[in-house]
A and B are shown apart, each in its own frame.
Chain A
Amino acid sequence: MSSLLRDKELDNLKEIFVFANTPSYLYKNFRQNPAVLGLSEKYQTEELIGFFERLVQSEKPDMESLLMSYALLFAISLKEYAESRRFLNGVDRHKNLEWIKEIREIIIANARATTIKNIDLNHKTNAVPSRHEVELTIMQDAR
Chain B
Amino acid sequence: MQIITSSTELDTRSIRVQTRKANDIQNEQSLIISELERSQFPIFVRRHPTAKLRGLPSGIYNCHGLTFASRRTMVYDPNEIWKIIKDDNYVRVEQIQALPGDVVLYLSAEGDVEHSGIVISEPEPHFYLPKVWSKWGKYYEVIHYVNDCPYEKSNIKYYRIMG
Give chain A's interface residues, CB within 8 Å of chain B. 11, 14-15, 17-25, 28, 62-63, 95-96, 98-99, 102
Cβ contacts B133-163/A at 8 Å (1 or 0 each): 0011111000000000011000000000000
10 further A-B contacts with Cβ under 8 Å, apart from A15-B150, A22-B77, A63-B37, are A15-B47, A17-B137, A19-B151, A20-B137, A21-B115, A24-B108, A24-B114, A28-B110, A63-B40, A96-B10
A11, A17, A63 — which one has the most chain B CB atoms within 10 A of its CB?
Answer: A63
Expressed in whole angstroms, the Cα–Cα distance for A22 and B64 within the complex equals 9
Task: Give residues 7-39 of B contacting A (CB, 8 Å).
Answer: 7, 9-10, 12, 30, 34, 36-37
The reply to whether B78 and A22 form a contact with Cβ atoms under 8 Å apart is yes
Residues on A with C-beta less than 8 A from B137 are: 17-21
Interface SS, A side = helix
Residues on B with C-beta less than 8 A from A95 are: 7, 9-10
Interface size on B, residues (CB 8 A): 35
Residues on B with C-beta less than 8 A from A21 are: 62-64, 74, 76, 114-116, 135-137, 151
Would you mind naming 29 contact pairs between A and B with Cβ atoms under 8 Å apart? Answer: A11-B40, A11-B43, A14-B40, A14-B43, A15-B43, A15-B44, A17-B137, A18-B40, A18-B41, A18-B44, A18-B138, A18-B139, A19-B44, A19-B137, A20-B137, A21-B63, A21-B64, A21-B74, A21-B116, A21-B136, A21-B151, A22-B78, A24-B78, A24-B110, A25-B108, A95-B10, A96-B9, A96-B10, A102-B76
